[in-house]
Amino acid sequence: MSRRHIGLVASIACLLALSPGPIRIRRAAPPPVAVLQTAERAPTPPATPSVPAPPPAIRHVIIISEDGLRPDVLSEDLTPRHMELMEEGTKARVAETIPESDTLPSHASMLSGFGAEEHGLWWNSYKSDRGYIHVPTVFSVAHAHALKTAMIVGKPKLRHIAVPKTVDHFERPSYLCGGVARRAGTYFASDKPDLLFVHFSDPDEYGHSHGWMSPEYLRAVHNSDRCLATLLDAIDKSELASSTLVIVTADHGGHGHRHSGGRRAAIDREIPWIIRGPGIPRGGIIPETIHTMDTAATTLAALRLPRTPNMGGFARLARETDVERDP
């Protein structure tokens, strides 16, 4: 053993002799480890599915009644504007008026939602001494809620429905539809009524004089289609177009030279019913039978007005789930 080793052993022995207990060798603590503190993130909310924008609110309703118009006469050649309207909106597969299939009783039911026994207008001509309809109408309900109402018609007998202080504007500019359509279009654009009823006389006039489905009747139907085009053009060019609901219908059909047999002849009760406007499906078909009193119920619902107690009819503001389409 070398002297260096002997000296080292002696030093260790000396330390052991002087130490009161076992020698503890302390190890240096490791350097602190920096811990990266990260802020806790809030969970990302699930993506909200996109919802289609609701259609513009309906603020105006126009009811167009073509007196004596049979639904089976509508065709691309004879009534192209009616056919376009069906594609722009929804039509009834079947629609019918009341059994009392005459102009005044039928229109009274269309515009009130009550049958002839309730509304009391069972005759069919203008009789000034007989007063007015016995029940509330769409005009009286609208007027009571501060809405502006109007009737522009071809036949004076319809005045029996215009109860005083319920129709703000009643006008008969002409008998046939040319003057009626032009005036109704101008009036709607300028005066902006909330509820407007328009009446064309032509199909009924030539059905009585020459027979339903006669060449003269078919020409009158074609002329009524042109009048419809005139009025719709005025509506569509107005600033109110996007908030206007249009209903096109009739008071009765007809056969031979008459239409009063609604209790016996279905052809006298069958009518067209087409609806177009905000939220109404394009090219739709309502599978259930539409009744003329549905026009009153639909009008009140569209304008967000209350139903008259005990009135009939259903609101037919068709949505996609309510309609069918032809294959």
CATH of the domain at 202: 3.40.720.10
Number of folded domains that form the chain: 1
Of 96, 58, 91, 97, give the one whose Cα is nearest residue 301: 58
Residue 53 has a pLDDT of 54
Question: Is residue 37 assigned to a domain?
Answer: no
Report CA dihedral (9, 15, 21, 27) to the nearest 10 degrees. -80
Residue 23 has a pLDDT of 41
Quote the CA–CA distance of 155 and 236 in Å, as a whole number. 26
Would you say residue 245 has pLDDT above 80?
yes
Going by the DSSP 8-state scheme, the letter that residue 176 receives in this structure is: S
Residue 86 has a pLDDT of 98
Would you say residue 17 has pLDDT above 90?
no
Question: Is residue 139 assigned to a domain?
Answer: yes
Question: Is residue 8 assigned to a domain?
Answer: no
Would you say residue 89 has pLDDT above 50?
yes
Residue 10 has a pLDDT of 47
Would you say residue 31 has pLDDT above 60?
no
**Which tens digits make up the pLDDT trace of 150-189?**
999 999 999 999 999 999 999 999 999 999 999 999 999 9
> In angstroms, what CA-CA distances link 115 with 24, 55, 70, 99, 219?
112, 33, 21, 9, 32
Question: Is residue 259 assigned to a domain?
Answer: yes
Q: Show the DSSP H helices in the chain as ranges.
A: 3-18, 80-88, 103-110, 116-119, 138-144, 177-191, 202-210, 215-237, 266-269, 293-302
Question: Is residue 50 assigned to a domain?
Answer: no
Question: Is residue 255 assigned to a domain?
Answer: yes
Question: Is residue 15 assigned to a domain?
Answer: no
Of 244, 203, 207, 209, give the one whose Cα is nearest residue 225: 203
Residue 326 has a pLDDT of 81
Domain housing 286: 73-322
**Which tens digits make up the pLDDT trace of 267-292?**
999 999 999 999 999 999 999 999 99
Question: Is residue 303 assigned to a domain?
Answer: yes
